[in-house]
A and B are shown apart, each in its own frame.
Chain A
Amino acid sequence: MVSQMVDVQQVWSWLEAVPDPEIPAVSVVDLGIVRDVNWQGKELVVTVTPTYSGCPATTVIGRDIVAALRSHGLNDVRLETRLSPPWSSEWVSAKGREQLRQFGIASGPAPVCPRCGAAQTERLSQFGSTPCKALYRCQSCREPFDYFKPF
C-alpha cells in the first residue's frame, strides 16, 4: 500500500511506460489516449479517450493501465472514458510519431515512406491491419507500409 498520494507527474511518467497493445513501440500517453490524471479523494482517476469506436484494444488498454499502476502500489484507480472531444491523430506526440516511423508506420498529414523517406507513395487500401491505419506502398523502394491515418 502506498500511504501517501503520489504526485500526478510521477503517475504520468509511469503511464509513459505502458505500451499500446497493438503498436507496442508507442505508449498510451504518446498516442494521446490518456487525457487526464488526477486525485479525487483517495482515488486516482485516469481519463482515457478511445481512438476508434471499433478499436478492439480499448478494453486491454484500460486493463494495462490499471495493472501498471497497481505494480507501482496504486490500488485505488478508477478509469473514466471521455468521448468528447473525440480522439484525434493530432494528439500523437512528436516522440510518438518518431517511434511510429522507426516501427515502420508513417503518420502526419501525408504518407511518407518510413523506410526510405520517399514522398511518392500509393494507397493500396483505406483500411489496414487496424481501423487507425491505411495500407500504402512506396513507389521508390516498393515496400508496403502502414499509414496512421489523419483522423
Chain B
Amino acid sequence: MIAAAPPVKPDLLQLTLAMGDSDLILSQRLGAWCGHGPVLEEDLALANVALDLLGQARMWLSLHAEREGRNRTEDDLAFLRDAGAFRNLLLVEQPNGDYAFTMARQFYFDAWHKLALEQLALSDDASVAAIAAKAAKEVAYHLRRSRDWVVRLGDGTAESHRRMQTAVDALWPFTGEMFDEYFNHLRPAWQAEVEATLQAATVTVPRDAWMHRGGRQGIHTEKLGPLLAEMQFLQRAYPNSTW
C-alpha cells in the first residue's frame, strides 16, 4: 500500500473520466481477442479480464456522469463522445499486435493500475475509495497473470523472447504519461516491479527515452478513431436503440 498522500489532489471529474476511459478502451481491445485466443484457457482469461475492466469502467463513468450533473449517462459517455473527448492512456489504445504485444501492454498497465487503485482506495471521497478498493482486488489477479506471461514468453523460445523484447521496447514510450500529475510518485514502485519482472523474463529493460503524451488532454494516436468507430457504431447508426 502507498502510505504517502499524493502530492497533487486529483480533480475528481478528470480522475473518474481518466480511470473509466482507460478501463473501457482496454476492455474493448481485449474483447477483440474473444474467439481468437491461442488456447481456450487464454480466450476465457482475456474475456474475463475484459469483463472486469468493463465493469470498472461502468462504475467510474457512472460516478463521473452523476458528479458532472449534465444529465448524461455512462452509455452517453461511452458511445457518444468523439476521440478528442476521451482521456484514456495512449498505451491502452495501441492495437493488440501479437500475443507478446498484448501481454506486454497488459503488464505495463496492470502494474500501474494496481498502484493507482491502491492509492485511490485511500481517497477521502467515499465513492472513489469504494470503487478503487473493489477494482484493486480484481487487478491484483490481472497483474499476476500478465506478469506470468511476460516471464513465460520472455524466458521461452528464441522466437518468443524476440517478440517479447520487441513488444516491451515498442510500448515503453507510452508508459511515461501514466505518472503525470497526481500519480507521479508511483513511478519508483512501478519501475521496481517492471525491472524485476523483465529481469526474470531475461528481457532487457528499455532505457529512458522520449515519451509520448496526450491521452489525458484528449490528444490521441491515430489508433483510437477506428476502435471508437467499431465500438460506437450501433448507437451512432441507430440512436437510442436498446435491447
Contacts and interface: CB of A to CB of B under 8 A. Distances in A.
B67 interface: no
Contacts of B130: 83-84, 86
B55 A53 contact: yes
Q: Which of A85, A125, A149 has the most CB of B within 10 A?
A: A125
Interface in B91-143: 126, 129-131, 133-135, 137-138, 141
Contacts of A131: 48, 51-52, 138
B129 A55 contact: no
Range class of the B interface residue count = 20 to 34
Interface residues on A, range: 20 to 34
B20 to A, nearest CB: 12
Interface string B42-63: 1011001111111110110000
B72 to A, nearest CB: 20
Contact of B55 (A55, A126, A127): A55
B144 interface: yes
A54 B137 contact: no
A54 B54 CA distance: 6
Contacts of A85: 133
Interface in A18-67: 50, 52-56
B212 interface: no
Nearest to B53: A54
Given A83-B130, A84-B126, A131-B52, A53 B138 contact: yes
B48 A127 contact: yes
Contacts of B59: 53, 83
Contacts of A125: 41-42, 44-45
Contact of B52 (A53, A87, A129): A53
A44 B145 CA distance: 42
6 contacts: A52-B51, A83-B59, A83-B133, A128-B44, A135-B44, A151-B137
For the complex of A and B, 10 pairs with smallest distance between CB atoms: A53-B55, A54-B51, A125-B41, A84-B130, A54-B52, A83-B130, A86-B134, A127-B45, A127-B48, A54-B55
